[in-house]
Structure 1
Amino acid sequence: MTVYETIEAPAQAAGIADDKAMLRAAAELTRDIATARPAIYWPDMLLSALVGYAGLAGAILLDRPWAALLCAAVAVLALYRALLFIHELTHIHRDALPGFRFAWNLLVGIPMLIPSFMYEGVHTLHHARTRYGTAEDPEYLPLALMKPWSLPTFLVVAALLPIGLLLRSAVLVPLGLVIPPLRRLVWGRASALAINPSFERRPPEGEFARMVLWQELGASLWAIALLASPLWLGWRPLAIAIAVVAVTAVFNQLRTLVAHLWQNEGEAMTVTAQYLDSVNVPPPGIWAELWAPVGLRYHATHHLLPSMPYHALPEAHRRLAAHCGTGSTYHQASYPGMAMLIGRIARSTMRRA
């Protein structure tokens, strides 16, 4: 029986002991590829942003519907890839890629109203051994154990993201400057890319607080300009941009939906249990590179090696798969594609109807 035939069974995640041989192999076999390479990061991010904005411009400016839709599709895929570098920013050492964080925020984060502070200091909590899968994990919900309506709600919330981001940066953040309780509320409840509705963020401190200040300022000024733009450009450019970001957000939410099995009910888990609750979608399938770019098709391997740069994850996976072999614990986190994983979660929720 293959791993694909057994994934419908409930996972007793909290009771899985650590596979120490696998954890040791993960550390020892990948030391030589653990350095972030600027020659890969910079061109990838810059080209993705350039193609994304060119596609967005085409979607706005072209009159033929088929050409505009094609440009919009290109914009969604390219901007999606550019945005996902925010995940890398949370893991790479601050000194590894000089200037990369600033450039990404200037070119992608602030224009898309998702500056890096919304993920930095949040995503690392998801990787904390004692927090993953618990009520203190900002990026975890037991989706496979929830009611059927939770999945469409999960996607609808993502579709509304661009409206929420505009209101947050153009209205709520400026108002918070003169209404301290609102400022604390916006920071605590609306300043993190989190899916756990009970997560409340702590106030920023020190150098991070200074970084938040300039990113918030840039995002607010840009959001105000966007809301004012119909006065001289009409509504078409803003409406198309909102639609492109909404589709991008839904695309990312679908990826998030299949990044884990979502079967933990709040108990602390071992590293191996966290790995088995996460998902790899390795080759030979090619579509995963579109819906899970920047190394995220190897999400389970990423949970074993959180600091591994995205460009090294394919090689890390090949080495570990060859070393551990078919039928090993490592093999059990690999799945064939998004459709099967969504179907598995949907069937799990239907059983709770």
Structure 2
Amino acid sequence: MTIIDQTVAPARDDDLVRIAAKLTRDLNVAKPLIFWTDLLCSVSLGYAGLALACVASGVTPWISGIVAVLALYRAESFIHELTHLKPATVRGFYTAWNVLVGIPLMTPSFLYEGVHNLHHARTRYGTAQDPEYLPLAGASIWALSCFVMLSVLAPLLLLVRFAILAPASMIAPVRRKVVARYSALTINPAFRRVPPTGAFRRRWIISETITSLWAMGIAILTVVGLFSVRWLMIYLAVLAAIALLNQVRTLVAHLWESKGKPLSVTEQYLDTVNIPPPAMLPILWAPVGLRYHALHHLLPGIPYHGLAEAHRRLLAVLPVSSAYHRSNQAGLWPTVKIILVRDHKACA
């Protein structure tokens, strides 16, 4: 590990990035064994729990359903890693994730590819062009509750998106609207997506077609009685619970203080949140490194399995007065309380 003078705090906007990058340079390499083991264990546990929830009785479906939600939520969270992985870094992972997770859960990776990177663009973060940002700071508890609870509608919306809108989009005018408004995992309702091009367009069409067939198959099999209505309800309930967990995580990923103007690197960092140990519950609701969201914005090239070590190094080296320490929060509810009382002055 590189040793840096611990008495020197980053003085300029680029100092924090420079020092952090120097301290963590060796952590930028994705480890395929960790990726594959984590994904396959999560998928196996998740689908086993889902199957047991469908066929068991008594209290078992509730317990196995919770296991399915937590395991599949972890598996689905790898969509975030996919957007940052360099090509061929973890060979076959892109295809495997879509086959095992993206298509069965109706969240193929094209919904996030080419979208999430805009959230990291220095000139877009916190502006109207950021697909993953809303000015939530200072909102009422009612508004934040609605923001979170609306996420439970996601499975029904995804079912409509792929079972109805996808085949209907063979008509050109419908296709333009579907691509622009209904083909991205975002929270900014003003965001409009541009049509894909090149190799990405081909991948998009392939995964969209397969996901559409999956969604239509579920609907048709349920109507004709080959797929139990109970199974459908459990499947959609698990997806709704996953969406709810992710929306809770999204709520406390930022302090949402931007007023729509581009922010400096330090301002962007201070608008994002880490919820590191000793808090333990983020292991469940912010898996795959998502508890280190501020650190991820600072150093987006570090794969999820390197973030905890990067955090330890930065805490040990950077003085308490540095900006790095100021983005560390104690937990979910303390962060929500900060969001509720903020008045947008910090990033005006």
- TM interval, shorter chain, is over 0.9
How far off its partner does 1:298 sit? 0.6
1:29 aligns with 2:19: no
Amino acid at match of 2:92: G
Q: What is the aligned counterpart of 1:108 among 98, 101, 116?
A: 101
1:1-353 aligned within 5 A: 18-64=12-58, 66-146=59-139, 148-177=141-170, 179-230=171-222, 231-348=225-342
Mapped to 1, the partners of 2:188 and 2:140 lie a distance apart of: 16
Mapped to 2, the partners of 1:174 and 1:248 lie a distance apart of: 26
CA displacement 1:282-301 (0-9 Å, x = unmatched): 11121111111101111000
Amino acid at match of 1:328: S
Query: What residue in structure 2 maps to residue 5 of structure 1?
Result: none
Mapped to 2, the partners of 1:190 and 1:147 lie a distance apart of: 28
How far off its partner does 1:233 sit? 2.6
The 8 Å contact of residues 262 and 277 in structure 1, kept in 2 or not, is answered as yes
Query: What residue in structure 1 maps to residue 4 of structure 2?
Result: none
The 8 Å contact of residues 22 and 324 in structure 1, kept in 2 or not, is answered as no
Question: What secondary structure sits across from 1:259 in the alignment?
Answer: coil
Mapped to 1, the partners of 2:247 and 2:56 lie a distance apart of: 29
CA displacement 1:297-335 (0-9 Å, x = unmatched): 110000011111000001111111111022321100000
Mapped to 2, the partners of 1:181 and 1:344 lie a distance apart of: 44
Mapped to 2, the partners of 1:232 and 1:97 lie a distance apart of: 38
How far off its partner does 1:243 sit? 0.6
The 8 Å contact of residues 123 and 139 in structure 1, kept in 2 or not, is answered as yes
Farther off after superposition, 308-317 or 137-146:
137-146
CA displacement 1:244-266 (0-9 Å, x = unmatched): 11011011000000000001110
How far off its partner does 1:347 sit? 4.3
Percent sequence identity is 52
The 8 Å contact of residues 142 and 262 in structure 1, kept in 2 or not, is answered as yes
Corresponding pairs, count: 331
The 8 Å contact of residues 131 and 187 in structure 2, kept in 1 or not, is answered as yes
* C-alpha RMSD of the superposition: 1.3
Mapped to 2, the partners of 1:271 and 1:204 lie a distance apart of: 29
Amino acid at match of 2:64: C
CA displacement 1:10-38 (0-9 Å, x = unmatched): xxxxxxx9533321111111111110000
Question: What secondary structure sits across from 2:338 in the alignment?
Answer: helix
Amino acid at match of 1:131: R
The 8 Å contact of residues 13 and 264 in structure 2, kept in 1 or not, is answered as no
Question: What secondary structure sits across from 1:233 in the alignment?
Answer: coil
The 8 Å contact of residues 163 and 216 in structure 2, kept in 1 or not, is answered as yes
Amino acid at match of 1:126: H
Amino acid at match of 1:269: L
Mapped to 2, the partners of 1:87 and 1:227 lie a distance apart of: 28
The 8 Å contact of residues 285 and 336 in structure 1, kept in 2 or not, is answered as yes
Q: List gaps (5 residues or longer) in structure 1.
A: 1-16
Mapped to 2, the partners of 1:229 and 1:341 lie a distance apart of: 44
Mapped to 1, the partners of 2:173 and 2:138 lie a distance apart of: 35
Question: What secondary structure sits across from 1:30 in the alignment?
Answer: helix
Q: List gaps (5 residues or longer) in structure 2.
A: 1-10, 344-348
CA displacement 1:60-108 (0-9 Å, x = unmatched): 11111x2110001001100100000000000010121111000000000
Question: What secondary structure sits across from 2:84 in the alignment?
Answer: coil
